[in-house]
Amino acid sequence: MKKRLLDFGGQDFLNVSPIDLKQSILASEGRVIMAENVPVENTLLTGVTNAEIERAAGADLILFNVLDLFNPQIKGIPEDIDSKCHIEWIRKAIARPIGINLEPVDVDAKMNEGRTDIVNGRKVSVETLKLAEKYGFSFICLTGNPGTGVSNNAIKSSVKIAKEHYSGLIIAGKMHGAGVDEPVMNLEIAKGFIDVGIDILLVPAPYTVPCFMEKDLREIVDMVKDFNKGKTINDKVLIMTANGTSQDSSDIDTIKKIGLTSKACGADLQHIGDSFNGCCLPENIFALGQAIRGRRHQLVMMSKSNIR
């Protein structure tokens, strides 16, 4: 299916293969939004999941954070739905591809802050990768939450394991330091991730971490575009800019500035984080979409029925 994501209906989203999803993102020319949320805590609004809120606000892809794959319960789903069916229920309810953060914790990493321990169901392992495959997640994001001690070297090692046990899209990179005393992103780090065979390179959006601005993003984009020349979609690398340092809850003008800068520098898709009670503010998802794809596309994506 060669079709830009901007033209997808609900059934397209539900039935698209990972590689066709990758192609549809590329074909949308920088106008795709991935919204992150924490599904295991109280929902932003009573009676509805955070994923439903974000989809209604214009998100194209939903990324679950801090979800324990050994016990994947999602708050806000009707009580009569068995917890074993939560992931499948939410996928059908929102008719959008869903993915999950898995964290490559580096126990030897030099830390800038105290380490936050996390349950094994959130960490990258053969077991969690097989569960991500079983539950049908369209993509995994190998990254780190604050203080968890995820390092760039650990991410690279995890990509190799993921390619053996998971068939969906692999996103890799850091939105912030995750507590580790190392650069978050630079050209050398980006090359290292590309060399191990990722599908989507995650880089901080300009202005969201210190010392990462337009010129830094553009340098990485130019390198990736050069790498992609002559390659099929299977081997091409897309670039996702991430607003994952609580600036996702900034004022609308800041959201638009970050979004337009990322698009102008060459981002294929944009992530927006989950800092407001485990969700992204709906008005900020809408503002981001309105900025990077215009009111027409934003309203169409919000309005299309799941049964189309």
Indicate if the pLDDT at residue 73 is higher than 90.
yes
Q: Is residue 87 part of a domain?
A: yes
Which range of residues forms the domain containing residue 253? 5-303
Give me the DSSP letters along 165-196: H--SEEEE--SS-TTBSS-S--HHHHHHHHHT
Residue 63 has pLDDT above 70, yes or no: yes
308 found inside a domain: no
Domain count, the chain: 1
The model's pLDDT over 195-208, given as tens digits with 9 standing for 90+, comes to 999 999 999 999 99
CATH of the domain at 233: 3.20.20.70
Give domain status of residue 117, yes or no: yes
Among candidate residues 167, 164, 73, the one with its CA nearest the CA of residue 119: 73
- Which pLDDT score, from 0 to 100, does residue 1 have? 63
- Mean pLDDT along residues 280-287: 98
Which whole number is the average pLDDT over 122-128? 98
Look at residue 307 and tell me whether its pLDDT is greater than 90: no
The DSSP symbol for 5 reads G
Q: Is residue 78 part of a domain?
A: yes
**Would you say residue 282 lies in a domain?**
yes
Q: What per-residue string of b and e applies to 104-136 under the rule 16 or more CB within 10 Å gives b? A: bbbeebebeeeeeebeebbbbbeebbebbeebe
Q: 223: which 2 tokens?
A: 């390198």
pLDDT digits (tens, 9 = 90+) for 215-258: 999 999 999 999 999 999 999 999 999 999 999 999 999 999 99
Per-residue confidence (pLDDT) for residue 15, from 0 to 100: 94
User: 0.95 cut: is pTM over it?
Assistant: yes
231: Cβ–Cβ under 8 A, 6 or more apart, which residues? none
Average pLDDT over residues 274-285: 96
For range 91-113, the mean pLDDT: 96
Instruction: State the DSSP H helix or E strand holding residue 134, giving kind and residue range, or none if neither.
Output: helix 126-134
Residue 83 — pLDDT band, cuts 50, 70, 90? Answer: confident
Task: Output 2 or 155, whichever has higher pLDDT.
Answer: 155
- Average per-residue pLDDT in the chain? 96
pLDDT category at 306 given cuts 50, 70, 90 is confident
Q: Looking at the domain assignment, is residue 116 inside a domain?
A: yes
Whether residue 142 has pLDDT greater than 70: yes
